[in-house]
Structure 1
Amino acid sequence: MEAYEWGHVLHRVLEHLQSDHDLEYVREHLLKMALASVGLTSQEARVFAWEKLGAEIVTYMNSDLHKECCQGKRIYSEMPFAVRLFEDVQERGTLSLNGVIDKVWLRADGKATVVDFKTHKYKSATQVKRIVEKYTPQLQLYAYAVEKLLHWRVDRAGLYMTATGSYMEVPCDLQARENLWKKMQILWTKADSRSEEKEKRLFS
């Protein structure tokens, strides 16, 4: 398979993993389901996929992040969403945000954590920094969507890097999100007014 297909399979397994799933269930059911989503159904495919992805799956299963997720009062996996950000700005229509959040859960303290899985294979600290910077706005907007739709206060958001089993938090405080919001408003008001499209989409 192509690299993006392996990433898709790994995403599917981690997103559906629950606290009562052991390794046998993961191999025989979750991995089977994930491979079927890319058209692979043979036993040979499952054996090969486990040899390639098993270590990363086990690392996540043993991680503090997964343990915290399993203790969540409410948990959503692959949560699709669509929210409106700006409306009727200089008659440019509506700016909408839509996507799918890998994991979000409500903790015992009443606040929420948002996590996005990344299957990038990076080799240096510089690459890691670029990945975090690239996806920080996305995670901040995910936090906004969760608060808007589920009415949960999100105070933690981050990227779980499957290649190294590391979790990297991004700034998710209200000030950081307010700064992003201001930048987006500036870009939106400068959008091409000649566009016939009445609805713009971000992170679709």
Structure 2
Amino acid sequence: MDIVIINTGCANLTSIQVAIQQLGYNPIVTSDPSLIMQSKKIFLPGVGTALSVMNFLYKKNIIDLIPKLKQNILGICLGMQLFCNFSEESNGIDTLGIIQSSVLRLKSNNLPLPHIGWNRIFFNKEHTLFKNIPNYSRFYFVHSYAIPVNKYTLSTTNYGINFSSVIQKDNFFGVQFHPEKSGKIGSQFLKNFLEM
């Protein structure tokens, strides 16, 4: 299977690549539009700021390509947030516009930001992504911004408030947590996505 991890200029590309390799696949990291178009499954990772990743995608001429993709794509952490149309980060920035929602700074009710560490996800809907994953499973999070609960939310997590921890709109899937840092349960999640 042709699997592409879109090069977003971020630091966690290798850890995602290794996690997928451990499942028996051979993903490539690229920002080449033709390779992205030909792939069967796509990952959009993100660490850092929405502004820096959007600028990187702009320089690589793939901002307009991503919303047109027809194959399944999984946005991870900031990658998921970029699917929305706006982020409060960096004094406000327009993002990819696939999901009509804003990304908001976590109102964590005096809990420290960023939200770092293990937290539970609560299924809002049954989904193939959750195969062999018990409800209330713990995944690893690192973020200060989040997508509010909306009609595309598949699971929520609570950190002061509830936010979307897994989303789906058509072929666009997103997770706020890092499956590549979430041990066996994270590996199962990646496996479920790859086998969909």
- TM-score computed with the length of structure 2 as normaliser: 0.30
- TM-score computed with the length of structure 1 as normaliser: 0.29
Q: Which has the higher helix share?
A: 1
User: Which protein is bigger by CA-based radius of gyration?
Assistant: 1
